Structure 1
């Protein structure tokens, strides 16, 4: 009987060797995950595998996302992006440029005052958006224009005072809208 050992390189094995310092890279549920929680990152780091589909940068002092923040570091395949508790207060209109596969975006527990709606036009298939625990006061008309696949929005604990009449216009697939812990008093502004 003849036996032989054959070693096959799998994409996840290659990706694990490319993991950057202060991050954990793993293959989970058929997707490449890169987790860099509380790694004191001030920018989206270079060197993350371009095949990454889930990126967890929560707890880093990013404060702002600049134009093409992910494209510049060759991250175009991201499907899920977690940026909770990053002290974000500014998101450039083109920050999410080229993230056309993004289906989930978590921006909870940041310092956002305005909705980053103009930034989200680059994410046409976005389904889940969390903006909970920010400082958003107004949800303007057509806030989610062109995000027809959006199914869930979490606005809880923002201090929202006004939701304009057509803020959610065109969101035919919206199933969940979380508005608890806000300052709404049956006000609709036209």
Structure 2
């Protein structure tokens, strides 16, 4: 990794940590520059705007989310178990000390109305997750209506966990997912 790439990664990591803990708008470029340990000019040479840094953070969060879900699903074998593994991943994430909700929902809430690229990044992440759930649902032989229901359970669990400060919403969402999956896969008479 060259020095510029390493510095970009360090800046994205610092921005992610600060934005996730306190919100994008409460962290100025000068504070980010200090955290990264570079001049403001250098920071702007890496990212031409704060929007560019926010988008890089969201891109990184999307990759971390995708990797986490897929790694958890890889530990089980059937499509049904993989669907339920989503909620196991959520419980583990919600149980971390620094959990502050979904970074995409947070960024959308702060900037979605005024920064179209942030709104689009949030939409893309949500659509990507919905497509992942839809593919697992198809593999399980479930009707098309199941995937959006399971995705909504996961999204609702994230918001509830962030507000309540408790990871238990993941367990409740998982139990509801079991009911929905079993009903969707039950033989029709």
Indicate the structure whose relative CO is greater, using CA pairs within 8 Å and at least 6 residues apart.
2
| TM-score, scaled to structure 1 | 0.27
Q: Which has the higher helix share?
A: 2
